[in-house]
Amino acid sequence: MPKVFFPVILLFLFACEQQNPELELWDTKSGELLYSFPLKNRTFSLSFFHSVNKSDVEEFYTVKGDEIILTSCLYSSFGAGVADELPENQKLTITSDGKMLIENINMKINPLIYSVSVAYDHFLHIDGEIRNLTELGLKNHSVEFRIQE
């Protein structure tokens, strides 16, 4: 085999072995791994009904290595518990359906922990699918989201 092809074959084999990261959900009290989902697009979001503001919120995340980064938030209304002032680098736009989108947040969240409400459902949006965290049995659980490469 010619020497030129050897590095190309190694690079191809290495690329084929690369897998998508997994988004893992861990119980913060027991330390138990609860669920693991493939993360093909390296993005996901979490949506919920804000218990203080009494409106829908969706938070959008991207994954870089093993870091989870909050990139944007979509709010249905202003009020207690949601941002009312933005740093210079962030941008607020009103969507066509009247919601408020804050972009350019780019904040590393470590650890990312959600307390799944007993009153309202939380939803994980990942790779075109929506998973209800309450229906997964996580109501009243504190869940840490981790990335496994």
For residue 67, what are the β-bridge partners? 64
Which domain covers residue 27, as residue numbers?
A: 20-148
In a domain, 78, yes or no: yes
Q: What is the mean pLDDT of the chain?
A: 84
What pLDDT does 1 receive? 53
pLDDT classification of 61: cutoffs 50, 70, 90: very high
**Sequence-ordered strand ranges (E) for the chain:** 22-27, 33-38, 43-49, 56-64, 67-75, 91-94, 100-103, 107-108, 112-115, 122-126, 129-132, 142-148
In degrees rounded to 5, what are phi and psi of residue 123? -125, 135
Confirm if 73 and 58 have CB atoms less than 8 A apart. yes
What pLDDT does 16 receive? 44
Among 44, 22, 41, 42, residue whose Cα is nearest residue 33: 22
When divided into structural domains, the chain yields a total of: 1
pLDDT in tens, 72-130: 999 876 655 556 677 889 998 889 998 889 999 999 999 999 999 887 889 999 999 99
In a domain, 3, yes or no: no
In a domain, 5, yes or no: no
Q: What is the pTM of this model?
A: 0.82
pLDDT (average), residues 29-33: 95
